[in-house]
Chains A and B, each alone.
Chain A
Amino acid sequence: MAVSIVWSLTNGGSAISGSTDLGNLSNGANTTAKEIFIRHNGSNSITSAGIFIREFSGTYLGARTAAADFTEILAWGDGTTANSFGGLQINMKRDQPSNTFDTAAWPTYSSKAPSSGKGNTFRTGVGDDESNPITILSSTGATANGTIQAGSTPNVSFQLRIAVPSEEDTLGIRHFETVLTYSFTS
């Protein structure tokens, strides 16, 4: 059975339609963190749920190629200096009772997966392929690491942002694809 997934910007909210604009950035800046909620219509929990990124497969509107953009977003995450580090980052550390995301869980050059992996950076070998997704942790509201419960609410949620390296010197639109992978047993 193919389970349907709903990506939304609020708990139990309408599915996101169209693109999500993260804004324009200068070098060395981060986009505003965007909270993403996920739920599904399966009769049972989905398991082994994780997020990975890959080369964009849609109509490419960037300045180079989808392959080059994917290579670059991973290179940003791989950055070996403070000025070259950046990329797509995830924060899964929702604190209680404040019900807010811990800003200390965002990755930095010196700590690419802080708070025991509740913050993480998509980079080579980490979330760059279906074989190594970043597991959706229980701190997102999942019943266990990688296990998203059935039902319309509560949803799991995490924050995503993009950090542009300080030394980036090429303007333009970048494309890549974010994918949820999961297992399901009827």
Chain B
Amino acid sequence: MYIENGWIKFPLDGSTYLGQDSDVAKGLASWRNTPTLLESALILHNGWVVKIHGVGEYWQSDVYETKFLEGKSKLVKRRIERQIDHDNQAFIFKQSREKQHEFFFSMNPGEFDGQYVYQTLSQKGQWFIAELNLVKNKCNWIISDSKL
């Protein structure tokens, strides 16, 4: 299984769904029309891999820009999103290596090596969003009241 640009989702039943950009463009792959309750999911673009782990509701979105008078859109951000489903505290860890960034949800602040990057607190229903900024060539994360 290899794709260069797109997304991969891993549902709870062990199946795998691929959303290669070229297939999405042809209408042969769709995030919306495939399961969104997942064990994990990841996005890829030009060597970057950003993945979120943990059973939950996932979403994926791309941000584009189009200059006035131009029809062609430019991909500027690619996001993978997971709804926070913890009533109280959860710890979100980040493990990074060059262009690969992975985020893990855990109830235990000592479960993974290194420091957690965020501690949720009564944020059930909000969304944790890992964002790959292709203009600034970096990965960051945000918390949002809704999926984007």
Chain A residues proximal to chain B, CB less than 8 Å: 1-7, 15-20, 43-44, 47-48, 57, 130, 177-186
Contacts and interface: CB of A to CB of B under 8 A. Distances in A.
A48 B30 contact: no
Contacts, number: 80
Given A1-B24, A4-B71, A43-B27, A183 B148 contact: yes
B61 A185 contact: yes
B72 A44 contact: no
Contacts of A5: 66, 70-71, 73
Given A4-B72, A183-B61, A185-B62, A177 B31 contact: no
Interface string B72-92: 111110000000000000000
Interface size class of B (residues with CB under 8 A): 20 to 34
A5 B72 CA distance: 7
A181 B73 CA distance: 9
Contacts of A6: 71
Interface string B27-71: 101111000000000000000000000000001111111111111
Interface of B: 19, 21, 24-25, 27, 29-32, 59-76, 148
Contact of A179 (B21, B31, B32, B68): B68
Contacts of A20: 69
14 contacts: A2-B72, A7-B69, A43-B30, A47-B61, A48-B63, A178-B68, A179-B66, A179-B67, A180-B66, A181-B63, A182-B63, A185-B32, A185-B60, A186-B24
Given A2-B64, A44-B32, A185 B71 contact: no
